[in-house]
């Protein structure tokens, strides 16, 4: 079982306030083997999720924009399978040059 909580506090810029709602994801997962896993995640407690809202205001003007998502029945299913490609690294045999410093020459 897993839970993910994501929250950005409101922040202010010049004449603009930016908001975002609290996001909570609850999940259950089942690992069948080292190669296979399935996870199901659900968004509880939220009907309309505001992922972006900004209010711009100055004397004589006010503008409000928001992006919302109807998350009443939103859920995710994630399936993972590992094919084990690329686990063995083939080393290249080649000569390696090292720098040497001769401090007795020159100065």
Quick: pLDDT tens for 50-72.
888 999 988 889 999 999 888 78
Tell me, what's the pLDDT at 14?
Answer: 82
Does an H or E element contain 52, and which?
A: strand 48-58
pTM, rounded to two decimals: 0.53
Burial 2-29 (b: 16+ CB within 10 A, else e): eeeeeeeeeeeeeeeeeebbebbbbeee
- CA angle at residue 11 from 6 to 16, to 5 degrees? 135
Q: What is the pLDDT of residue 6?
A: 82
Please check whether residue 86 is in contact with residue 51, taking contact to mean a CB–CB distance below 8 angstroms: no
Q: Within the chain, which residues score under 50 in pLDDT?
A: none
pLDDT of residue 22: 86
The pLDDT assigned to 102 comes to: 63
How much is the pLDDT for 63?
Answer: 93
What is the spatial distance between Cα 27 and Cα 85, in angstroms, rounded to a whole number? 28
Tokens of 85: 């490609």
Q: In what order do the strands lie in the sheet with 11-13?
A: 11-13, 16-19, 48-58, 61-70
């Amino acid at each position: 079982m897993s839970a993910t909580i994501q929250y950005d506090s409101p922040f202010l810029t010049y004449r603009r306030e930016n908001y975002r709602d609290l996001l909570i994801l609850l999940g259950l997962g089942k690992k069948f083997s080292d190669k296979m896993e399935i996870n199901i995640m659900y968004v509880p407690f939220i009907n309309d999720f505001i992922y972006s809202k900004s209010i711009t205001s100055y004397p004589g003007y006010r503008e409000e924009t928001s992006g919302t998502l109807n998350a009443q029945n939103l859920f995710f299913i994630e399936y993972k399978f590992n094919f084990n490609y690329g686990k063995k690294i083939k080393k290249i045999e080649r000569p390696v040059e090292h720098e040497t410093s001769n401090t007795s020459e020159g100065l």
